[in-house]
Structure 1
């Protein structure tokens, strides 16, 4: 496989190129990824040794004000604190919790250079503006005839934006392109937190994602669970939700019975998976689905945005699950589509956390 050639100034998340661009990879990445500076003064390509923490590497080897991209397959990376990050701008490919291959990393790096950051900024602004004028959001699947309501006045909701241009001292996932509402701060997982304002029926019909924790012994179980849930790409499963807790699972058609049974068995074995932790909204329309158990699929936005559902919170639960629902739509209370299978129009404004750190890289 020939080396991948990328240009630092093509990554729009960082804003205007200036000073030093730092690419942090593992040892194979150091040999197979070549990064040109473009409009930066220079590129610094560092290898993250297995025994070195990312925050330590930043503080000791990356100059202040640098723009930093980290892509280390198989590594679990804790988000560096404000003191370690300083005024650097940091984006991290979540490459530890799902089995990304070198080919996946190359694809994600290439497609991220085509990401229209200005468009993502506009989509995010439109989303929050218009969502801020409604009392509740509706998630519908027109084919399945299901609908769930999310009450925006429910307590303890935190809105997050992993899209748009970073400012000094901010960090973000890579590739960019996800908005979400979580039951607590995204980096502060709590077993008791749930999206209590969510009630109704949801239809799962799209790629599942199974995140694991840092224990390598979980890899075979993670793979078996992903394989059991993977039929959701082609067949629908209905979830009944009351107050942010899943109360029922049913196949949407006879051929979906095995995957519905696998999901019900998981929920019965560990009741914490019944907790709905996150509603996510992928808005990256410049990348395609990676047909595998791939964490960065959470930013996938198809043509008009994709709703996804988050269950479980590692390490409180052994795995964290995300389900993409590309056939669903997100609507305001008057039926206006914000994203998904129906077209959206512009209105209003609401608060959100911008450039927050991701709790699981």
Structure 2
């Protein structure tokens, strides 16, 4: 195991100004991987530091409510544990950030990388990027997702049906929780953690290109780990060999590999759709805006925040535990454009424009 990574609480800008207690929560598998600067005052800036282990059989929400001061800033990094989001009553006025370390097989080295990356993330810049995104999306009736390399194009009319916009980026307010590292914006057809098989992004139509590292989340059953890895390996063909999805009213109608090298990924995805039609739903249209965190070439859930220099489009299919796995695909060559062709993010350069309300809530439910 790598040497313990010492965390200085004040390094994580999403919590805002240090005040009161900073609490690091980890699991038994994480003991020895992290150390917390708990000196009162000192360089941490907090009056107190608290490091807790989440016992087997106890939920994160229960531990928060029973053992963590009511106004604490809390970072949860629990290797091997799937963390369900605490209720608003359990969270109270605490600020909570969760590094998803149970739904994908993160190594200690991966987790330490994401923690260091989060400490380097410019939260103020990220907030301005999010504001810019929502302002320009709000003033455009329709959006277009294009992949200039393959020629694929999909239109997204976000005024069609119900859309919930989510922000997992920028500073936290009391009572809010966020993924860690921060840096993802998204839109879903329903509350992000409450899957409805009949919900659709009705205005999403056309072709989308998958080209980048896939992510395969599982829920709490360790027996799913072998099939999770097998599926990830098959889908990883899209890193070098793009696959096109034909989408109508927010549901996948056809999967086509652009070259023969993409056939294993297309076939694996087609089997999932045939076995469980709920995977046909584009559950989440996501946008990574973290410009500091690189995409790790492995099955790593936090890769979803990867934004590169200009933001990255990603797609989400399925949601655990409703579906056995939840899939996310980075679309690194794609761009999001407004109705007049102005790039919002992605491979084409973005410019500034208007304002939109969004929800700061509990990540994707795949902790």
Q: Which residue of 2 aligns with 1:98?
A: 104
Please report how far the alpha carbon of residue 189 of structure 1 lies from its aligned counterpart in structure 2 after TM superposition. 1.4
Q: Which residue of 2 aligns with 1:14?
A: 15
Structure 1 pair 32–262 and aligned structure 2 pair: CA distance change class (3 A): closer
Q: Which residue of 2 aligns with 1:272?
A: 278
Correspondent of 1:241 among 235, 243, 247:
247
Mapping of 1:342-353 within 5 angstroms? Answer: 342-353=348-359
* 1:41-78 deviations in Å (ceiling 9; x for gaps): 12101111112211111111111110000000110111
* 1:295-338 deviations in Å (ceiling 9; x for gaps): 11000001110000011122221111100001100000110000
Structure 1 pair 356–318 and aligned structure 2 pair: CA distance change class (3 A): closer
Range 335-344 or range 258-267, more displaced: 258-267
Structure 1 pair 257–360 and aligned structure 2 pair: CA distance change class (3 A): closer
Q: Which residue of 2 aligns with 1:324?
A: 330
| Counterparts of 1:217 and 1:148, CA distance in 2 | 37
Q: Which residue of 2 aligns with 1:60?
A: 66
Count of matched residue positions in the alignment of Structure 1 and Structure 2: 361
Q: Which residue of 2 aligns with 1:314?
A: 320
Range 329-338 or range 344-353, more displaced: 344-353
* Superposition CA RMSD, Å: 1.2
| Counterparts of 2:107 and 2:61, CA distance in 1 | 24
Query: Secondary structure of 1:189's partner?
Result: coil
Q: Which residue of 1 aligns with 2:212?
A: 206
> Which aligned runs of 4 or more in structure 1 are off by greater than 6 angstroms?
none
Query: Gaps spanning 5+ residues in structure 1: where?
Result: none
Whether 1:30 aligns to 2:36 is: no
| Counterparts of 2:283 and 2:88, CA distance in 1 | 26
Structure 1 pair 287–218 and aligned structure 2 pair: CA distance change class (3 A): same
Query: Secondary structure of 1:176's partner?
Result: coil
| Counterparts of 1:229 and 1:171, CA distance in 2 | 30
Query: Secondary structure of 2:55's partner?
Result: coil
Query: Normalised by the size of structure 2, how large is the TM-score?
Result: 0.96
Query: Gaps spanning 5+ residues in structure 2: where?
Result: 39-43
Whether 1:197 aligns to 2:198 is: no
| Counterparts of 2:161 and 2:307, CA distance in 1 | 28
Structure 1 pair 239–358 and aligned structure 2 pair: CA distance change class (3 A): closer
Please report how far the alpha carbon of residue 27 of structure 1 lies from its aligned counterpart in structure 2 after TM superposition. 2.8
Structure 1 pair 165–187 and aligned structure 2 pair: CA distance change class (3 A): same
Range 60-69 or range 250-259, more displaced: 250-259
Please report how far the alpha carbon of residue 21 of structure 1 lies from its aligned counterpart in structure 2 after TM superposition. 0.3
Please report how far the alpha carbon of residue 355 of structure 1 lies from its aligned counterpart in structure 2 after TM superposition. 4.1
Whether 1:231 aligns to 2:237 is: yes
Mapping of 1:143-182 within 5 angstroms? Answer: 143-182=149-188
Kept in 2, the 8 Å contact 1:161–1:356? The answer is no
| Counterparts of 1:194 and 1:53, CA distance in 2 | 31
Please report how far the alpha carbon of residue 120 of structure 1 lies from its aligned counterpart in structure 2 after TM superposition. 0.5
Query: Normalised by the size of structure 1, how large is the TM-score?
Result: 0.97
Please report how far the alpha carbon of residue 200 of structure 1 lies from its aligned counterpart in structure 2 after TM superposition. 0.2
Query: Secondary structure of 1:241's partner?
Result: strand
Mapping of 1:129-148 within 5 angstroms? Answer: 129-148=135-154
| Counterparts of 2:67 and 2:241, CA distance in 1 | 49
Kept in 2, the 8 Å contact 1:163–1:355? The answer is no
Please report how far the alpha carbon of residue 340 of structure 1 lies from its aligned counterpart in structure 2 after TM superposition. 0.3
